[in-house]
Chains A and B, each alone.
Chain A
Amino acid sequence: MTLLIGALTLGIILSLLALGVYISYRIFDIADITVDGSITFGAAVSSVLLVQMGVHPLWATLAGFLAGAIAGTVSGILQTHFKINPLLSGILVMTGLYSVNLHVMGRSNIPFLGTVTLSTYCEKIGNIVFGGNEILLMGWTVSTTDLMTLILMFLLVSSISLVLWLFFHTDLGTAMRASGDNPQMIRALGGNVEYYKIFGLALSNGLVGLAGALWAQYQNFADVQMGIGMVVWGLASVIIGEALAGTASVVTAIIGTIIGSILFRQLVAIALSFGLNPNDLKLITALFVFAALILPNMLSKLSVGKRKVAL
């Protein structure tokens, strides 16, 4: 049960990463590798603020969002102002961020031992709400800290999703969706596609940075390597979400992406508990995304083939 709750919580935290990838990959049609750097950047900035400066966890977490947004802005400016290929822009910013992260953190790993983080607050609130350290949930003893963390993270992600959904139905948000769908059209209607793209990548990577800040506080340390391969993780979540919920509207896409992230984390947890070597995790994630990218095409070819035979 502890394992299940842990996987659920991490899945929910990382759904912010998945939502960020959804914005860059689906709305703007950019495979934005900046994500690998910005998730660590968010974690690095918030961890330094927490551990070395003693900033309040809420502000430190918000700083994680801002750090990610700055990384996204730089990536966006490289793409629009300097006309660098989106993939290459992402690679440049991600690579540069590796050094930046090391400088910010001062070393490759910062443990949060004894630091007041959001987890500390989750523990306090959990103790008050449930009246103890442990409660019985469906026959299992569960730590109230874990349970409260899960509940609070769920509430946080839900409210962020609601804000995102509202945003993508404002004049600005609609124009941003259109600039990914048909840039020529939105230019002809007076939209500044370059500006929307920078703003969109800032928002996307801001969410990713926020996920990094929360993730570090949840696992009680920040590591300079924690971002490696996270864009593929986000892609996997987005793809699972689309398979489950479809792409009909923004609301189904957002809900699908969150469910995708949670499911993917569960699958990984189950695989690991069955003895999967953690070193193989990235390879399997990559293979999974590869399969998800080519399967729809192969299936449609197969069904066309069958139809021909039937005729």
Chain B
Amino acid sequence: MNNQQSNANLNPAMVQLTDVFKTFNAGTVNEVRPMQGVNLTITEGSFVIVLGGNGSGKSTLLNAIAGSFMIDTGKIELNGEDVTQWPEHKRATLIGRVFQNPFSGTAPSMSILDNFSLAAKRGKFRGLSWAHSSNLQDELKDRVSELKMGLENRLDTAIGSLSGGQRQALTLLMATWLKPKLLLLDEHTAALDPKSADQVIALTEQIISKEKLTTLMVTHSMQQAINLGDRIIMMHKGNVLHDVNAHEKQRLRIDDLLSRFENVRRRELLDESVADLLRLRYI
């Protein structure tokens, strides 16, 4: 087990966040501070699960790395490059993403083939060559038939007519079609029924282990957090509260996770009751 840890230390950092701060709607009543000095290092090849309550900043963490918004201060490095100032589409050369909403990851009125022809050019120059190359069609047929969803003969179907589970499975395949340096999964099974969610999770595991992808996966499911990945980080109020490494994670149970959350919640309650007490006394 020590071996495993030292191995992890030897691997270079794929993602490095240094003192990242972000405030939305600064100075208004809607001010939100989802990132308050986040420091995080993710080594190459590791599969990190991100847990946290609503508003803890876990989705914001993924969006910050992907470049959906620019951070206020701090530094983000990907694959050894400083990408802090890179726009979203430029970072996509390194990143594959699957969103929570099955509608977000695919272009609904376009065919499965169209969508994959876009994925096959992720982060590359898009010129005037024919999008539906025969190589792509053949490979796509093979890969889609592996999903066992019966979609291989429906490649001309508009992707919007498929179920949420099918769309998420396809989005996952699209995000990893060109091997990304980093895969970001943002609660990608949260909007699915349990059966589809299990299917998509099985596919996720299969692809990540086969391609040895560095992965950051946000989830609400404690079960997924226990079963998947080799590291768990728990976010709270815009910061990393707990960091569970592979060694610890092997012995971790759902109850442990829940009790850690319970601790946080209790601390929160205390804070609020103290605040109330003070308010009663002084106002």
The interface of chain A, by Cβ under 8 A from chain B, is 167, 169-175, 177-178, 181-182, 184-193, 247
| A188 contact set on B, CB distance < 8 A | 66, 88, 92, 95, 97, 99, 105, 175
B89 touches A187 (CB 8 A): yes
Q: Is the CB of B107 within 8 A of A171?
A: no
Chain B residues contacting A191 (CB-CB under 8 Å) are 89, 92, 118, 126
Contacts of B121 in A (CB 8 A): 171, 175, 189-190
Chain B residues 100 to 119 lying within 8 A of chain A, measured CB to CB, are 103-110, 114-115, 117-119
Contact A178 B128 (CB under 8 A): no
Q: Which residues of A contact B175 (CB under 8 A)?
A: 188
B243 to nearest A CB, angstroms?
Answer: 27
Residues from chain A with Cβ under 8 Å of B92 in the complex: 187-191
A177, B113: Cα distance in complex, Å: 13
State the CA gap A190–B115 with chains docked (Å).
Answer: 13
Chain A residues, Cβ within 8 Å of B242 = none
Q: Contacts A169-B131, A175-B126, A193-B89 hold; do A186 and B97 have CB atoms under 8 A apart?
A: no
A170's partner among B99, B107, B119, B127 (CB-CB below 8 A) is B127
Size of B's binding interface in residues, CB under 8 A: 36
A181-B128 contact in complex given A186-B118, A188-B92, A188-B97, C-beta closer than 8 Å:
no
Within the assembled complex, what's the spacing in Å between the Cα atoms of A177 and B97? 20
* B132 proximal to A (CB < 8 A): yes
Of listed B90, B106, B118, residue having the most chain A CB within 10 A: B118
B37 interfacial by beta-carbon distance below 8 Å: no
Known: A188-B92, A189-B122, A190-B121. A174 touches B131 (CB 8 A): yes
- A188-B105, A190-B93 are known contacts. Are A171 and B126 too (CB-CB below 8 A)? yes
Contact indicator B124/A190 (Cβ below 8 Å)? yes
Query: A residues within 8 A CB of B108?
Result: 181-182
Shortest distance from the beta carbon of A191 to any chain B beta carbon, whole Å = 6
Q: How far is the CA of A171 from the CA of B103 in the complex (A)?
A: 22
Chain B residues with Cβ below 8 Å from A177 are 107, 110, 114
Q: What's the nearest-Cβ distance from chain B to residue A217, in Å? A: 30
Check if A190 sits within 8 Å of B117, measured CB to CB: no
Complex Cα spacing A190 to B122, Å: 5
CA distance A188 to B103 in the complex (A): 13
Contact A178 B118 (CB under 8 A): yes
Contact present for B128 and A171 (CB under 8 Å): yes
Chain A proximity mask over B130-144: 1 for CB below 8 Å, otherwise 0 = 111000000000000
Q: How far is the CB of A148 from chain B (nearest CB, A)?
A: 33
Per-position contact with A for B52-90: 1 when CB-CB < 8 Å, else 0?
000000000000001000000000000000000001111
Inter-chain CA distance A168–B130, complex, in Å, is: 9
CA of A171 to CA of B116, assembled, Å: 11
List the A side residues contacting B99 at CB < 8 Å. 184, 188
Complex Cα gap A250–B103 (Å):
22
Of all A-B residue pairs in the complex, the 8 with the closest CB atoms, nearest first, are A190-B92, A190-B123, A181-B107, A171-B126, A174-B131, A178-B107, A182-B107, A188-B97
- Does B259 sit within 8 A of A, measured CB to CB? no
The answer for the CA separation of A196 and B251 in the assembled complex, in Å, is: 51
Q: Is B129 an interface residue (CB 8 A)?
A: yes
Chain B residues in 8 Å Cβ range of A171: 117, 121, 126-131
* A–B pairs, 13, beta carbons within 8 Å: A171-B128, A174-B118, A175-B126, A177-B114, A178-B114, A185-B106, A186-B118, A188-B97, A189-B123, A190-B121, A191-B89, A191-B92, A192-B87
Q: Which residue of B lies closest to A168 (CB)?
A: B131
Partner of A169, one of B105, B123, B132: B132
Chain A residue at minimal CB-CB distance from B109:
A181
Q: Which residue on chain B has the smallest CB distance to residue A181?
A: B107
